């Protein structure tokens, strides 16, 4: 999987990113060529989390043997959730993280 650096527009292989910081929902990555820190847009990160949660919740509900009337609905919702999460993973735009002074 490749991401585009918002600083130098280089296509970076995710495996080449050595420096990663986790800040709650946000994951900040450092570009190996221009050393700028970037992360996914906050709204997109939140929606991605929401999509993944939707899949987890609906899968759990289906496993717990909820009324079968609803299981199709839950499966559909879970599918929508994972599609959203995948779309954001592949097409979500990265933003430069404001530089912090040390
Ligand atoms: Zn860069």
DSSP letter, residue 16: G
Q: List the chain pLDDT tens, one digit each, 102 residues.
A: 788 899 999 999 999 999 999 988 788 999 999 999 999 888 898 999 999 999 999 988 888 876 777 888 888 999 999 999 999 988 888 899 876 555
Residues with CB under 5 A from ligand 1 (ion): 5, 7-8, 10, 31, 33-34
Give the helix ranges, DSSP H, for the chain: 42-63, 68-91
Write out the two tokens for 46: 């939140």
Angle at 91 between CA 55 and CA 7, to 5 degrees: 130
- How far apart CA 52 and CA 4 sit, in angstroms, is 23
Measured in whole angstroms, the distance separating CA 71 from the mean position of its chain's CA atoms is 26
Give 36-57 pLDDT, tens digit per residue.
999 988 889 899 999 999 999 9
Question: Domain boundaries in the chain?
Answer: 2-96
CB of 50 closer than 8 Å to CB of 67: no
68-91 vs 42-63: helix crossing angle, rounded to 10: 150
For ligand 1, the distance from its centroid to the CA atom of residue 95, given in whole angstroms, is: 11
């Amino acid at each position: 999987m490749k991401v585009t650096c918002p600083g130098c527009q280089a296509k970076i292989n995710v495996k080449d990113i050595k420096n990663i910081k986790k800040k709650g929902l946000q994951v900040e990555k450092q570009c190996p060529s221009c050393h700028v820190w970037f992360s996914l847009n906050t709204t997109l990160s939140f929606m991605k989390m929401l999509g993944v949660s939707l899949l987890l919740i609906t899968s759990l509900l289906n496993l717990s043997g909820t009324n079968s009337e609803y299981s199709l609905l839950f499966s559909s919702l879970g599918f929508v959730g994972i599609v959203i999460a995948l779309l954001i993973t592949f097409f979500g735009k990265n933003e430069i993280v404001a530089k912090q002074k040390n």
